[in-house]
Amino acid sequence: MRKLSLACALVAALTTAAAALGATRSDPGVDANSILIGGTAPLSGEASAGAGVARGAEAYFKWVDAHGGVNGRKIEYRYLDDGYDPSRTVQATRQLVQQDKVFAIYNTLGTANNLAIRSFLNQSKVPQLFSASGATTLGRDYAQYPYTMGYIPSYAAEGKIYGQYIVKTRPKAKIAVLYQDDDYGNDLLGGLRKGLGGRARQLVAKAGYDPTATDVASQVAQLKGSGADTFAIFAFGKFSLQAFFAMNKLGWRPKVTIVNAVSSASGLMALPPAASTEGSVSIVFTKDPANPAWAKDKGLKLFQTVMKRYYADGVKSGYAAAGASSAYTMVDALKKAGKDPTRASLVNAATHLNERGNPFLLPGIVVKTTPRDRFPVSQLRLQRWHKGRWNIFGKMLVAKP
């Protein structure tokens, strides 16, 4: 009888120990020394300028690793080239999840790219966090996709702010819009209409382009022919540049040109003829490392120190600054996920952020989320391109879709 009691006690002890181990056991991608996260970026192809977002994030993670990591673990960030092609994004993401066993997918760039992998990641219960896209659906549709969250301001909110700005400053404007004809461009266009409100009829012309197209010169010529005096460029990378070059060739000088944030990096704006970009308006939420106005800023000094050590080409890159800002928030979430993080605890941490003082964001911006508010960066300001640099103007604005 005594032997039976001892046996039962031993079984109970082993069961308790196993349960305890199970309670603290981490999900794939986490061991005693490291956390493996993954994502994709256009390292090649026509959108390769956006690769700076991934490389800027990687540089900041390396900096964190060199200073002790997160809760004693180093962050390994493995990102693969998708050439901005959603089908390649799917293939690469499956490799990262199924073969490489990453803990989470982070910072994937592109709206169509993120939407292409969202269902797979949520079905697999793999976090899809701080995507490099402002697609409104990434923050809005959390009930259907609880493991997904974007990072940058919602495109719909961005478009809305442009509409409100036009109403306030150019109430009789005739507006033409060039937009990428997918969820990205349509999100911005819908937001613009909402911001214009009763003046939406002043949108006199719009022209969409396929993201696989080679040129948008014909669309710009069509929009010029509408007689519009206000031009909104809702395009990415080379298409935004082509729009400015086409404007210059056609001699079109709108009273105001608006360029959406993902194409407003100083490095891009400096490429077209100055006559076509002068006076352009955009939004801003990160500090611009190419702008001498931030030369003495502590956050930008940290950014430059990090980039000089780990990504020298990113020292003046707005894309790298955007990547560093989201990497800072990812580190924050990983810390809050606990000493023995799980995918569920990471998502919980990401939906309970109250991050003040992100050194790479504009002063005053608070990265704040709740389980029902999944738009981490929802504050921004307006800026105007003048004599080869951006100049911030106006007060801080709330960017809610």
Prediction pTM value: 0.91
Which residues, at least 6 apart from 345, have a Cβ–Cβ distance to it below 8 Å?
337, 338
Dig out the tokens for 40 from the structure.
Answer: 């994709």
DSSP-derived 3-state class of residue 233: strand
* Shared-domain flag, residues 142 and 160: no
* Shared-domain flag, residues 177 and 69: no
CATH number at residue 89: 3.40.50.2300
Q: Distance between CA atoms of 324 and 333, rounded to whole angstroms?
A: 14
Determine, yes or no, domain membership for 10.
no
**Are the C-beta atoms of residues 130 and 326 closer than 8 Å to each other?**
yes
* Shared-domain flag, residues 267 and 337: no
Determine, yes or no, domain membership for 17.
no
Say what the pLDDT of residue 25 is.
57
Which residues, at least 6 apart from 282, have a Cβ–Cβ distance to it below 8 Å?
258, 259, 260, 261, 264, 382, 383, 385, 390
Determine, yes or no, domain membership for 5.
no
* Shared-domain flag, residues 248 and 387: yes
Q: Which of 106, 123, 161, 188 shows the shortest CA–CA distance to 376?
A: 106
* Rounded (5°) CA angle 319-320-325: 100
Q: Distance between CA atoms of 217 and 160, rounded to whole angstroms?
A: 26
* Shared-domain flag, residues 205 and 162: yes
* Shared-domain flag, residues 146 and 175: no
**Are the C-beta atoms of residues 299 and 291 closer than 8 Å to each other?**
no
* Shared-domain flag, residues 356 and 387: no
Determine, yes or no, domain membership for 101.
yes
Say what the pLDDT of residue 224 is.
97
Determine, yes or no, domain membership for 74.
yes
Determine, yes or no, domain membership for 237.
yes
Say what the pLDDT of residue 46 is.
81
* Shared-domain flag, residues 93 and 125: yes
Residue with tokens 């803990």: 103
Pairing of strands 230-234, 203-209: unpaired
* Shared-domain flag, residues 326 and 255: no
Domain range holding 236?
156-284+383-398
Q: Distance between CA atoms of 273 and 131, rounded to whole angstroms?
A: 32
* Shared-domain flag, residues 119 and 215: no
Determine, yes or no, domain membership for 270.
yes
* Shared-domain flag, residues 129 and 204: no
Determine, yes or no, domain membership for 21.
no
Domain count within the chain: 2
* Shared-domain flag, residues 206 and 278: yes
**Are the C-beta atoms of residues 157 and 400 closer than 8 Å to each other?**
yes
Which residues, at least 6 apart from 204, have a Cβ–Cβ distance to it below 8 Å?
174, 175, 176, 226, 227, 228
The whole-number mean pLDDT for each consecutive block of 10 residues of the chain, a chain of 401 residues, reads: 45 41 67 97 91 98 98 98 97 98 98 97 98 97 98 97 97 97 96 97 96 93 97 94 96 97 93 96 97 95 98 96 98 97 98 97 98 97 97 95 84
Say what the pLDDT of residue 65 is.
98
